[in-house]
Amino acid sequence: MFFVGIDIAKRSHEAVITDSEGKIVQKSFKFANSCAGYNKLLECIRRFTTHRNQIVFGMEATGHYWLALYTRLTKEGYQVHVINPLQSDALRNLYIRQNKTDAHDAFLIAEVIRFGRFSETKVPQEKAFAFRELCRNRFYMVDTVSDIKRKVSALLDQVFPEYSKIFSRVFIACSIEILSKYATPENISKARLDILSSLIIRSSNGYFGKAKLRKRLETRLELRTPAVFTLI
């Protein structure tokens, strides 16, 4: 049996190959975190054996950087163990006087796998993992959008506090269209009224007709330049 310990990193990984006695048969070598890098790793493995059941891989669950390599190796039919970094820390303590290096960590991971005293990090099935990641990304995007909206609203309150009297919801299409062209009361006060009126009616898909728009502005709007919308 051969044991391949892999120290995971963002750009490139470090691998060490040992035999069933713990002897290093392949000194540490780097390979890129890419398809070409994975091919390099597999070519090195095949120099020792072409039988997949004689090779056992071990790696730590470091961030998300291990996932692509794990997927490639499992699809190739290899046995891969993903362990929590805390499990290899105990073995690191036995080598406390040695300098911490990627090569040293890769060897320790190979030893953890060879000893067999570890518990697997649960790796979800591919579809379940993809669904989980999609959900996480969606929640992140929703939170990001909400945060940006809060910041925009805060800035708008500073430069255009009367705006909330025009639109109760700042981020509807019509409101965004106006703000993209007239971001301050001064900009609006200098706008041509016929153009401004047409813009509001068009961007609201006719929801704000002239009569409705005039009524809304007359009852709710108290701008620093109150004559702005009187002709709409």
What CATH number is given to the structural domain containing 82? 3.30.420.10
Q: Are residues 147 and 114 in the same domain?
A: no
Is residue 33 in a domain?
yes
Q: Which of 86, 84, 101, 99 is nearest to 14 (CA)?
A: 101
Instruction: State which of 92, 123, 154 marks the end of a domain.
Output: 123
Q: How many CB atoms lie within 10 A of CB 83?
A: 18
Q: Are residues 154 and 194 in the same domain?
A: yes
Q: Are residues 91 and 22 in the same domain?
A: yes
Is residue 50 in a domain?
yes
Model confidence pTM above 0.75: no
Is residue 100 in a domain?
yes
Give every strand in the sheet of 24-32, ordered side by side. Answer: 24-32, 12-19, 2-7, 55-60, 79-83
Q: Which of 8, 2, 71 is nearest to 35 (CA)?
A: 71
Q: Which domain holds residue 194?
A: 129-220
> How large is the angle between the packed helices 35-46 and 67-75, nearest 10 degrees?
50
Residue range 7-48, pLDDT digits in tens: 999 999 999 999 999 899 999 999 999 999 999 999 999 999
Residue range 135-161, pLDDT digits in tens: 888 888 999 999 999 998 888 888 887
Instruction: State which of 123, 154, 189 marks the end of a domain.
Output: 123
Is residue 53 in a domain?
yes
